[in-house]
Structure 1
Amino acid sequence: MLPSTEFALLRRLSLEQVNGRAPSMTAAVVRDGEVVWWAGRGAVDGAAPDDDTQYRLGSITKSIVAALVMRLRDEGRLDLNDPLDKHVPGTSFGSSTVGQLLSHTGGLTSESPGSWWERSEGGDWAALESSLATDALKNRPGSRFHYSNVGYGVLGELIARHRGTDWLTALTREVLDPLGMTRTTPHPRGKHARGWAVHPFADLLLPEPSPDAGAMAPAGQLWSTVRDLGRWTAFVGGDSGDVLSPDTVAEMRALATVDDGDAWTSGYGLGLQLVRHQGRRLAGHTGSMPGFLACTLVDEGTGTGALTFANTTTGPAILGLVADLIGIADEHEPNLPDEWRPTEVDRSLLPLTGLWHWGPTPYHLRLIPGGMLSLYPAGGSGRASRFRPVAEDEWLGLDGYYAGETLRVHRAADGTPRHLDLATFVFTRTPYDPAAPVPGGVDPEGWRTA
């Protein structure tokens, strides 16, 4: 990036390291699938941290685990509406669905019973399940957002049962290795930061433990680096490689629940935290474990992402820092839009394009890249959606009001498109075409002055 941009980013990181009293911090900006800037402040073993220094990811682990659950869904091995009991039978909370566990709406207790799991050696699945035999559900499944570390321990067991191996082996084989995240590991390897607690009233440090969390490990065990987390940040932005389709990653980023009331500023999708900040919609995750903080976010609108690590239990405002890094990058060096170029389309679909009407409301239908359709109000506001083909003259809504709904094209005897049927709404070439099967019929006297 430009020297002026790099200095502004470095200054923001430096202020956070000082004000948050972090022994060390690293941060990076991600664009077009690459780390375009990174910096480190403070010291790890007497030297500045670099882009290959490992820190704990904490709960960012959950997002990576969620990607593997979505792979199982895309393979048809499970449905997000399946009750847990269908895949991990016999628990006391088997009515919670897979989707609810991913989005922290399954009602499960936030922490595993017994000793504080983040600072304790964890037991196996049998021990965790036994500890949850009673009083595991704190809320009615689906009724509200209630962050649950336990839920991701459970999802780790679900993965293990479907893959016939432990969750970490499956995760490494199917997500980490294909993305080139070879420095993301369950325990530190090579250069890594030690986790510290900083005394609240003196500039003193206390080492924090980093045990193996056992069955709770899918909630926050992993360690990673700037380079590896940069690759994951690009993944969340849609550069998903062969691990998931971009549409599935977009589904993970879609809002499933809010955690702050009516006018949401933060919420949760399927394994991803969602934040609205200064007009931006950001997706990613924060992470904390004793001795460590981490955060990764990507702006869905601009595609710019950022991340940070710190080796302190508390102090730096990591989410605000990462959001600011994205804002600085986009303000100083906004992305140029891709140049428009003509592209070949399925010309047999051209007769579908143009003006349609839902009742008296005009809509435009146009072909967009990827063989898809876009239907949007001619006035610019209202119900707009994109659609992908699923069968001849059938299209599936991808987003907006019509997400998941089917658009069907009905043709005249000569093959000319006559009307569209979209979730029972009939679109016609002219407003309320009397020749079309408009629900409720069209007054035979037609349009009039009064």
Structure 2
Amino acid sequence: MLASTELALLRRVAHEQATCRAPSLVAAVVRDGSIVWSGARGRVGDARPDDDTQYRLGSITKTMVATAVLRLRDEGALDLNDPLERHLPGTPFGAATIAQLLSHTSGLTAESPGLWWERTLGSDWEVLLGTLDADTTKLRPGAKFHYSNLGYGVLGELLADKHGTDWLTVLRSEVLGPLGMSRTTPHPEGRHADGFAVHPFADLLLPEPSPDAGAMAPAGQLWATVTDLGRWTAFLGGNGDGVLSPETIAEMRTMVTVDDGDSWTTGFGLGLMALRYQGRRLTGHTGSMPGFLACSLINPDTGVGSLVLTNSTGGVGITQLSLDLITMTEELEPALPEEWQPSTVDPKLLELTGLWHWGPTPYHLRLLPDGCFSLSPVNGAGRASRFRPDGEDTWLGLDGYYTGETLTVGRTAEGVPNHLDLATFIFTRTAYDPAAPIPGGVDPDGWR
């Protein structure tokens, strides 16, 4: 990056560390799948932290658990609409679906019963299960967003049950190992930052505990470095590296629920947060545990992401800092558009392109470089979607109003395309073409 950009990013990090009195703070910017800048302030022991210093991730752990659950779905081992009881019987909330647990819409209580789980030694699943009863469900499943750490403890046990081993072994073999995240561990190993609380009225530190959370560990146990979290941030942007397909990652970050504000700023997909900021749609997750705060966000549209790790219980604006690092990078060093290059086009696809009409409204059907089609109103206002091939003369909607719907090409007896059937809507080359199967027919006297 330009020296001026690096200085601006470091100054923003330095300002946050100094004004918010963070014992130490590390941050990085990811672009196009790799770290392009990192910076650090403060001290870990008697030295400045670096890209290989471990910090606790807190709830960013949940995104990795969710990824392993989505792998089970992609392998056909479960359906997201399955009730929990089908795969993990015996809980008092078995009617909640896997998708509801992933998206924090299961209605489960926010925290596990008993003592504050983040600061006390955890128990195993059987002990935790024995503390759960009907009162564990606080809201009707599916009613609204209600963040539940307990829900991810349950998902961790689901992973263990389906794989016949513990949740951490599943993550190591299915997610962390394939992504090269060798410094992501349940407890600190090697160089790491100790967690502290900062006195509210004096420049003093209080060491925070970091016990093993037991059955609640899938909600926030893991530690990682800048290098590892940089890989993870890039992964959430769509670089699946064989762990998940880009389509499944996009599904994870698609909002299931939004906040209660009149104009949403945050939402939640399948294990991933969604944020709207200055025209950007960002995805990722934040994390907090006693002594630590963490944030990992990325803009999938530009491939620019950022991460922030600090060893302070509170008071550091990690989310805003992460947003600022992304904004500064995109504004100070905007990416150049990819050069346009002509491509080879199948003539059978080319004959589908051009002007079509839904009733009297003109649409353009364009062939995209990736072999998909885009269908959009000529005037730019109305329903627009992209479609990918899904068989002979059939196309599957990828986004917008027609997500998941099928577009079928209708042809004459001679094989010439003369209409498109999209979820029962008929598009024709001319408005209300009488030669096409217009629902309800066309007035025999025509236009007048």
TM-score (normalizing by structure 1) = 0.98
Q: Distance in 2 between matches of 1:377 and 1:247?
A: 25
2:117 is aligned with 1:132? no
Structure 1 window deviating more from structure 2 (324-333 vs 158-167): it is 158-167
Partner of residue 149, structure 2? 149
Letter in 2 for 1:10: L
Q: Distance in 2 between matches of 1:313 and 1:87?
A: 36
Partner of residue 115, structure 1? 115
* 1:418–1:436 contact (8 Å) kept in structure 2: yes
Partner of residue 265, structure 2? 265
* 1:260–1:267 contact (8 Å) kept in structure 2: no
2:408 is aligned with 1:411? no
Q: Distance in 1 between matches of 2:72 and 2:31?
A: 29
Secondary structure of the equivalent of 1:320?
Answer: helix
Partner of residue 370, structure 2? 370
Partner of residue 317, structure 1? 317
1:380 CA displacement? 1.9
Letter in 2 for 1:108: L
* 1:260–1:266 contact (8 Å) kept in structure 2: no
Partner of residue 12, structure 1? 12
Q: Distance in 2 between matches of 1:175 and 1:231?
A: 11
Q: Which string of whole-angstrom CA distances, capped at 9 and with x for unpartnered residues, describes residues 278-309 of structure 1?
A: 22111100000000000011113322100100
2:56 is aligned with 1:75? no
1:339 CA displacement? 0.9
Partner of residue 330, structure 1? 330
Partner of residue 381, structure 1? 381
* 1:197–1:313 contact (8 Å) kept in structure 2: yes
* 1:178–1:243 contact (8 Å) kept in structure 2: yes
Partner of residue 161, structure 2? 161
Q: Distance in 2 between matches of 1:357 and 1:50?
A: 59
Letter in 1 for 2:372: M
2:92 is aligned with 1:85? no
Partner of residue 420, structure 1? 420
* 1:397–1:404 contact (8 Å) kept in structure 2: yes
Structure 1 window deviating more from structure 2 (373-382 vs 224-233): it is 373-382
1:185 CA displacement? 0.8
Partner of residue 26, structure 2? 26
* 2:54–2:188 contact (8 Å) kept in structure 1: yes
Partner of residue 353, structure 1? 353
1:427 CA displacement? 0.9
Partner of residue 192, structure 2? 192
Partner of residue 216, structure 1? 216
C-alpha root-mean-square deviation of aligned residues, in Å?
1.1
1:214 CA displacement? 0.9
Q: Which string of whole-angstrom CA distances, capped at 9 and with x for unpartnered residues, describes residues 298-328 of structure 1?
A: 1133221001000000011100000000011
In the alignment, structure 2 segments of 5+ residues that lack a partner are none
Partner of residue 289, structure 2? 289
Q: Which string of whole-angstrom CA distances, capped at 9 and with x for unpartnered residues, describes residues 409-449 of structure 1?
A: 1111121112111111111111111222222222222112x
* 2:33–2:303 contact (8 Å) kept in structure 1: no
Q: Distance in 2 between matches of 1:115 and 1:394?
A: 56
Q: Which string of whole-angstrom CA distances, capped at 9 and with x for unpartnered residues, describes residues 311-365 of structure 1?
A: 0000111000000000111111001111111222333211111111111111111
Partner of residue 204, structure 2? 204
Q: Distance in 2 between matches of 1:165 and 1:348?
A: 51
Partner of residue 243, structure 1? 243
1:276 CA displacement? 0.8
Letter in 2 for 1:107: G
Secondary structure of the equivalent of 1:309?
Answer: strand
Letter in 1 for 2:119: R
Secondary structure of the equivalent of 1:391?
Answer: coil
1:388 CA displacement? 1.4
Q: Distance in 2 between matches of 1:329 and 1:41?
A: 19
Q: Distance in 2 between matches of 1:244 and 1:75?
A: 11
Secondary structure of the equivalent of 2:282?
Answer: strand
Letter in 2 for 1:17: Q
Secondary structure of the equivalent of 1:352?
Answer: coil
Structure 1 window deviating more from structure 2 (187-196 vs 403-412): it is 403-412
Structure 1 window deviating more from structure 2 (280-289 vs 254-263): it is 254-263
Number of aligned pairs?
448
Q: Which string of whole-angstrom CA distances, capped at 9 and with x for unpartnered residues, describes residues 5-27 of structure 1?
A: 00110111011111111000000
Q: Which string of whole-angstrom CA distances, capped at 9 and with x for unpartnered residues, describes residues 62-109 of structure 1?
A: 111111111111111111111111111121111111111111001000
Q: Distance in 2 between matches of 1:319 and 1:40?
A: 17
Structure 1 window deviating more from structure 2 (307-316 vs 354-363): it is 354-363
Partner of residue 392, structure 1? 392
Letter in 1 for 2:147: Y
Q: Distance in 2 between matches of 1:206 and 1:225?
A: 23
1:372 CA displacement? 1.6
1:385 CA displacement? 1.1
Secondary structure of the equivalent of 1:231?
Answer: helix
Structure 1 window deviating more from structure 2 (231-240 vs 369-378): it is 369-378
Partner of residue 256, structure 1? 256
Q: Which string of whole-angstrom CA distances, capped at 9 and with x for unpartnered residues, describes residues 33-55 of structure 1?
A: 11000001000011000000000
Structure 1 window deviating more from structure 2 (24-33 vs 387-396): it is 387-396
